[in-house]
Chain A
Amino acid sequence: MRAPVALPLALALAAGGCALRSDVTRVERQLAAQQREMVRADSVRASNLASLARLVQGLLDSLAVQQDALTRLRGDLRVELYNIQQQLVAIQELTGQSQQRLSELRGQLEQRSVQFAAPTDPAPPAGAGAAPATAGTPPPSAPAGAAPPSAAAAPGNAPPGAAAPPAPTGAVGPPVSPEPTADQLMELALQQLRRGSPGTARIAFTEFLRRFPSHARVADAEFFTGEAWAAEQRADSAATAYRRVAERYPSSPRAASSLYKLGVQAVAAGRRDEARTYFNRVVTGYPGSEEAALARDQLRSLAPGR
C-alpha cells in the first residue's frame, strides 16, 4: 500500500524540484515588482490622504468661522427681534388706547348733537352748529371735541383747568331728564359699584341692559353685574354672569376677564380641573390678552406634581 502512494509522490517531487528553481525566481521577481508597485501606490495614497485631511481640516475651520458668524448673527437677530416685539407691544397698546379715546369722543359728539338739536333753534351760533353738522366728517369736528378735555388735562393752567372739567359734564347736567343716556347710566352704575353699593349698582346695570340691549357696552353691563354679585359674596350668581359674558360676547375684552375670574373662582373652590379648563380657554381664545399671561401663571401652578 505504501509503495503505490510513495511513487507518485516521488515523481511529483522530482517534477516539482525541476519546476521550482525557475519558477521561484519568477515568483520572486513578480513579488518584488508587486512590492514596488505597492510601495508606490502607498505613497500616492499617503499623499492623497494628507491632502484630503488638510482639505477636511480647512473645511472644518471655515465651518467654525461660519458658525461663529452665525451665532453672532443669531444673537444680533434675537436682540433686534426683542426690540421689535417691544415696539409692537407699545404700538398695540397705543392703538387700543386711541380706539378707546375715539369711541369716547364719538359718544361725546353724539351727546352734544342731541343737546344742540333739542333745545336750540335752527339758527344757533356758528360754533355750536358746526358740531352736529360735521358729525359725519371727523377731521374738523374731532379737534372741537378734543379741545376741552386736553385743555383740562393740560398742566400749568390750574385755575382754568379746574373750572373747565365741570363745563362739559355740567352742560349735560342741568337738562337731566328721567331718561339718562347710556353712558350716564353706565357711569352712574359704576360709581355705585365703586362706592360700595353693589346692590344699587346691580339694579342700574339691569336697567341699562333693559334700556340699551344693543349698546356697545352691554358686555360691560353684564360683566359688572357679575362684579357686583362678587362684591356681595354671591359667587354662584357672579359665575352665572361671567359665563354669560363669555358665551354672548366672546369678542369683548370682558370675555377674557370673565373666563379668568371663573378660573380663579374654581381654584378657590378647589375645582382644579374646571379651573384648568377655564384658564386654557383664556390662553387659547385670547392669547394676546393680559389675562392669558395671568392664566399661564395659574396653569403652571396648577400643573400636576406640584
Chain B
Amino acid sequence: MVRGAWDVARVALVALLAWPSVVGAQDTVRVESGVRIGITYTPGSRPGIAVVAPAAAVFDSVRAMVARDLDYSDRFEVVERLPDTAALRLGAVRAATYVVMVDTAGTGASAVALRLIEVATNRSLMRRQLPLQAVGTTAWRGAVHAASDEIVRAAMGTPGIAATSLLFVQGGRLMRIDADGANGTVVRSAGRPALSPAWSPDGRWIAYTAFVRSGQPIVLQELATGRRAVVPTTEYGLNITPEFSPDGRRLAFAHGTEAGTDVYVYDVERGCCVQRLTAGRFSDNLSPTWSPDGQRLAFISSRARSPQLYVMAADGTGQEVLGRFDFGATGPTAGPAWSPDGQAIAFQRDVDGTPQVFVLDLATRAVRQITGSGRNEDPTWAPDGRHLAFASTRGGARDLWVVDLETGRLRQLTSGGGARLPAWSPRLSLSEEHRE
C-alpha cells in the first residue's frame, strides 16, 4: 500500500516537473483561475465578432455599448459597419466567427434580447434579456455591461471586464469611472485630498485614506449608502494604502508613527484586532497587496534604504526580498499589485529617474517592463488578470490608461489630467448598489 502511494506520488511529481517547463517555454500562455481546459488564447488570431441591431435608438445604443465592451475585452476582432439585421443572412458575414444579435425579445418593446450565435454552426451560445424600463441609467448600463461579459464568457470561457469600475484620485477628489471610460462620478469631494482607494472583494465597500483636519485615518465607506466608519487606531498618525484581503475579512494597511511606517492588518469582520505585521526598525513598510489565496502579502519596504518589493506570510513571518535587485542599480520600487491569477505582481520602478510599470513573473522571477514612454505609475489589475490600468503622462497630462498585456494594446481611460492611484474593481454584480 505504502509503496503504491509512493509510486503515485512519484508519477505525480514527474508530471509536475514536466509541466512547468511547458509553461515556461511559451511566454504568452497564462493560466487563469476559472479557465476551462482546452481554451487557450493565441495572440494575433482573435476571432471576429459582429454586433448587429435593428435601426432604432435603443437598439443602437445597446449595439454600440456591447461592441465597445467586446472591443475592450481585447479577445475579439470587432467587425464594424455591417448591414442591418433585415438584410443579414448569417452566411453573408464571413468575416465574423460570432454574431451578437440585439433585438426585441419578441414580446413587444418591454425588453431587449441579446443573442450570441456561432456563425459556422448557426448555434445560439447565449441569450439574455434586459428589461427596458430604465434605459440610460447606471443600472441599465451595468446590465448591458454584464451581458457583454456573459457574451465573452460564452465565447471564450472567461467573462469580460465590462461590468467593472475604477476608483481613482483626481485633484484630491475620489472619482469613479466605468471600465469603458464612461459614467464618471465623484465618490468623495472634501476640501482635503483623499488617497489610496481600494475595493472590497464584493464591490460594496471601499477603503481610502481621508485627509481631515486632525489626521489621516483610513475610512471604510459603503458605496450604496455613503455610510462611513473609521478603522480603529487609524485616528492617529499616518494611515495609507489600505487593501482588502481576497475573502474580504481583513484589511491590510500602512500605519506611520514617529518610528517609521509599518504594515498592519485589521479584522474587518470582527471589527477589532489591529495587528502589526512588520517591524519597521527605522524604515517604511507600505503598499501591502494580498496574494489571491490570502496567504501572503507583497509590500514595499525601505529597510535596505532604497524601497523595494518584499513578500511575507499573512501573519508577518518569513519576510524576504522578492525579485532581485542590485543595490544602487535597481531603481526605487513602489505600488505593487498582485495579479488575480496569483502568477504575477505588477509594480512601478524608476528607470533613469522616471517610473515605469513592470510585471514580475513569480514562477520564473523574470521581470518584464511594460511601459517606456512618459511617467507610468500605480498599476492595478483588471479582474481578468490580463489588463492593467495605470497613471501615465504619455499623452501630456497625467491620465489613466489601460494596457492589454497579451496584445500590448493601449487605450486612454480618462482625460482632463491629474488622475492617479487607480483601483480596479472586482466584477460588479447587478445586485450591487445602483448609484445615480
Contacts and interface: CB of A to CB of B under 8 A. Distances in A.
B16 A155 contact: no
A291 B315 CA distance: 10
Nearest to B367: A153
Nearest to A154: B329
B20 A188 contact: yes
Given A90-B305, A170-B25, A297 B276 contact: yes
Nearest to A168: B364
Contacts of A203: 9, 12-13
B48 interface: no
B209 to A, nearest CB: 23
A163 B295 CA distance: 31
Nearest to A293: B279
B21 A101 contact: no
Contacts of A291: 316-317
B404 to A, nearest CB: 15
Contact of B20 (A163, A174, A191, A253): A191
Given A170-B24, A196-B293, A290 B13 contact: no
A294 B16 contact: no
Contacts of B315: 260-261, 264
Contact of A94 (B16, B327, B330, B358): B327
Interface in A28-61: none
A152 B366 contact: yes
A170 to B, nearest CB: 6
Interface in A251-269: 253-254, 256-257, 260-261, 264
Do most interface residues of chain B lie in helix, strand or loop, or is the interface mixed?
Answer: loop
Contacts of B221: none
A162 interface: yes
Interface stretch (B39-47, B53-61, B318-326, B395-403): B318-326
A115 B417 CA distance: 54
A86 interface: yes
A155 B304 contact: no
Interface in B338-362: 342, 349, 351, 356, 358, 361-362
A93 B12 contact: no
A165 interface: yes
A121 to B, nearest CB: 25
B282 A169 contact: no
A294 B279 contact: yes
Contact of B16 (A90, A204, A292): A204
B363 A158 contact: no
B281 interface: yes
Given A85-B282, A173-B25, A297 B275 contact: yes
A169 B17 CA distance: 12
A129 interface: no
Interface in A277-306: 290-294, 297
A213 interface: no
Interface in B214-244: none
Contact of B366 (A165, A264, A294): A165
A176 B18 contact: yes
B414 interface: no
Interface string A88-104: 01100110010011000
Given A161-B368, A195-B342, A169 B317 contact: no
B294 to A, nearest CB: 10
A182 to B, nearest CB: 13
Contacts of B342: 194-195
Among B316, B327, B331, B358, find the residue whose CB has the most chain A CB atoms closer than 10 A. Answer: B316
Contacts of A207: 9-10, 13
Interface string B22-47: 00110100000000000000000000
Contacts of A196: 293
B283 interface: yes
Contacts of A162: 27, 366, 368
B196 interface: no
A87 to B, nearest CB: 8
A89 B16 contact: no
Contact of B27 (A100, A166, A194, A297): A166
Contacts of A111: none
Contacts of B279: 290, 292-294
B316 A294 contact: yes
A156 B369 contact: yes
B372 interface: yes
A161 B316 contact: no
Contacts of A194: 291, 293, 295-296, 342, 362
B14 interface: yes
Nearest to A258: B317
Contacts of B200: none
A180 interface: yes
A38 B325 CA distance: 89
Contacts of A293: 276, 279, 281
6 contacts: A150-B329, A156-B351, A170-B24, A207-B9, A231-B295, A290-B319
The 6 A-B pairs with the shortest beta carbon distances in the complex, nearest first, are A293-B279, A165-B366, A257-B317, A173-B21, A86-B282, A155-B351
Interface of B: 9-10, 12-14, 16-18, 20-21, 24-25, 27, 275-279, 281-283, 291, 293, 295-296, 303-305, 312-313, 315-321, 323-327, 329-331, 342, 349, 351, 356, 358, 361-370, 372
